[in-house]
Structure 1
């Protein structure tokens, strides 16, 4: 439990947000720039059970997530590495609904968790309409990069080479502004 609490506190510090009574659909790209998330609909069904290993300030913590996305919604279930259900986040009709099963004083914003997931699996077209002027999301082989107007890489997502019939799955998310790295290992 202590490991989980440390992970949450680190993530809260990184994402500069705390859980609110009414979760916002706004997420932070940098410490000064926020956006509204694109709509939750995804043309192709997506499912993945993942072990997330979070690295920040020479500390490492892990969390299991189950991610399901379809044409109507995105759902993320968070579990401790022991399998205890910690939270559920559902994004549907431009509203975020969160359920926290274990009370912890500080939790990251649901929209920030969704933002990293959506940046890694949703099509570029869905993101371009919500990005600030001059910002770009670019796919380059096994990488997706979020670039600011100066062409600095803000977020770099690395993918595993998928079989041709499947969506590619992220294996690493690096946020250069907030200084964290998430290694993603599919458990399927």
Structure 2
């Protein structure tokens, strides 16, 4: 029994390290592998709360998770859970830094895009174009074309597409295709 105590203590410490929050020292995300930009402020005119079933598809396969998104006027928080409710990650953005808590042992080897990239995709889907325009590098274009939002680089190459549907009178993102990093996110809004 005494020999098990140090082993349990080590396991507890390793588990705590896996959950330790980390902060990206800035508030930037990648549009492509070569292009970074400062994310818009995390504030919206109206608070936002969404529970979604998110399905990610990459060249290496697919993964499904539940997400809870909350923008309260001060910061944006995104939490990812397994379909059975186990927390995989929590990412928050306050305009200054992106902070993540990740259960690396559960996410290791999965096909999910990086958590900070998912945060940028969420903001690209929900934040108004006016919030994004001053952040975009010179020559980049973000346009709403009916129920599709398209992001193009200065050469006109399509980088991202976000498809929307009218759900109960609200324009909701249902699919994001990220051409630069070659993945897709399907988003299904869940009842609160």
TM-score of Structure 1 vs Structure 2, range by shorter chain = 0.7 to 0.9
The aligned residue for residue 101 of structure 2 is 99
Q: CA RMSD in A?
A: 2.1
Superposed CA offset, 1:71-129 (max 9, x none):
22111111011111122111114222222356455886443121000000001111111
Q: Work out whether residues 22 and 99 of structure 2, in 8 Å CA contact, stay in contact via their aligned partners in 1.
A: no
* TM-score of the aligned structures, taking structure 2 as reference length: 0.79
CA distance in 2: counterparts of 1:185 and 1:112, whole angstroms: 19
- Residues 1:150 and 2:155 aligned together: yes
Moved more, 97-106 or 111-120: 97-106
The aligned residue for residue 186 of structure 1 is 189
Aligned pair count?
167
The aligned residue for residue 17 of structure 2 is none
Superposed, 1:75-90 pairs within 5 Å as: 75-90=77-92
- For residue 123 of structure 1, the aligned residue among 111, 125, 128 is 128
Shift of 1:170: 0.7
Which runs of 5 or more structure 2 residues have no equivalent in the other structure?
A: 1-20
Distance 1:174 1:36, change over 3 A: same
* TM-score of the aligned structures, taking structure 1 as reference length: 0.80
- For residue 173 of structure 2, the aligned residue among 160, 170, 174 is 170
Q: Work out whether residues 163 and 176 of structure 2, in 8 Å CA contact, stay in contact via their aligned partners in 1.
A: yes
The aligned residue for residue 28 of structure 1 is 30
Q: Work out whether residues 40 and 94 of structure 1, in 8 Å CA contact, stay in contact via their aligned partners in 2.
A: no
Q: What is the DSSP-based 3-state SS (H/G/I as helix, E as strand, rest coil) of the residue aligned with 1:129?
A: helix
Distance 1:180 1:67, change over 3 A: same
Q: Work out whether residues 30 and 177 of structure 1, in 8 Å CA contact, stay in contact via their aligned partners in 2.
A: yes
CA distance in 2: counterparts of 1:54 and 1:105, whole angstroms: 15
